Amino acid sequence: MSTSLPPGILEALQIAPGTAPDGRTFQEVLLDLTLAHASDDGVLTNKYDLLCPRGCRSVILKRGVGQLVERSGIEMDSPGHPVDPALDPLPAPPATVQWWLVTPSPMTFENIGFSRSVVRTGDNTASPKPMKFLICADCDVGPLGWCEEGGKEFWLACSRVKYAVPLSD
């Protein structure tokens, strides 16, 4: 039995794993993100693919999917646990944070993982819904963002992902 490989497959497998760009931080591309790639209704969307901040090269969200939203932050980091060095610190609530809003389902993501349900504390809501934290599905770094359990809105902190900016940009 003879099997043939698709053209270019051997060349692709021989490329060194370190040749792909590691991505840039939100602060490095902030101006570029806010100037270009607005959808027809004026909502700003992510111009570049969003990547894992740890550098595992996992694509979390494809370009043009997340909507840039500025809103108050939430407490995502546990006070008793150190924050992963790959993650930028977030300001304490109710400080404003820039988020990528992803809707309407987790299937919109290219690659994302979820924590177990966490009950919110310190919220002023009468009956707070449990929430889940968003993490890299490949290396488990996080939290990168959050969602309410069973909700249709998924919030990624802009500063906690990297951006696949082409080398020519």
**Token pair listed for 52:** 């894992």
Give the C-alpha separation, 146 to 101, whole Å.
Answer: 10
Task: For residue 52, tell me if it sits in a domain.
Answer: yes
Between 22 and 166, name the one with better pLDDT: 166
Residue whose pair of structure tokens reads 């820039």 in the numeric block: 98
Per-residue pLDDT at 123:
53
Per-residue pLDDT at 167:
74
Residue-wise pLDDT for 8-39, tens only, equals 666 655 555 555 556 667 666 665 664 444 55
Cβ(46)–Cβ(156) under 8 Å? no
What phi and psi, each to the nearest 5 degrees, are found at residue 149? -60, 125
Give the C-alpha separation, 101 to 109, whole Å.
Answer: 11
| pTM, entire model | 0.76
Task: For residue 105, tell me if it sits in a domain.
Answer: yes
Share of the chain above pLDDT 70, in %: 70
> What's the Cα-to-Cα distance from 99 to each of 68, 144, 153, rounded to whole Å?
6, 10, 11
Share of the chain above pLDDT 90, in %: 53
For 128, the domain range is 13-77+99-165
- pLDDT above 50 for 2: yes
Q: Which H or E run contains 11?
A: helix 9-14
Across residues 96-108, what is the average pLDDT? 96
Q: Which H or E run contains 12?
A: helix 9-14
pLDDT band at 127 (very low <50, low <70, confident <90, very high): low
Residue-wise pLDDT for 57-91, tens only, equals 899 999 999 999 999 999 998 878 888 999 999 99
Task: For residue 29, tell me if it sits in a domain.
Answer: yes
Task: For residue 25, tell me if it sits in a domain.
Answer: yes
Query: How many domains is the chain built from?
Result: 1
Cβ(100)–Cβ(162) under 8 Å? no
**Token pair listed for 25:** 């931080």
Task: For residue 88, tell me if it sits in a domain.
Answer: no
Task: For residue 3, tell me if it sits in a domain.
Answer: no
Over its C-alpha atoms, the chain yields an Rg (Å, rounded) of 18
Task: For residue 161, tell me if it sits in a domain.
Answer: yes
Residue 155 is part of a domain; what is its CATH number?
2.170.150.10
- pLDDT above 90 for 146: yes
When the pLDDT of each residue in the chain is averaged and rounded to a whole number, the result is 83
DSSP for residue 24: B
Task: For residue 51, tell me if it sits in a domain.
Answer: yes
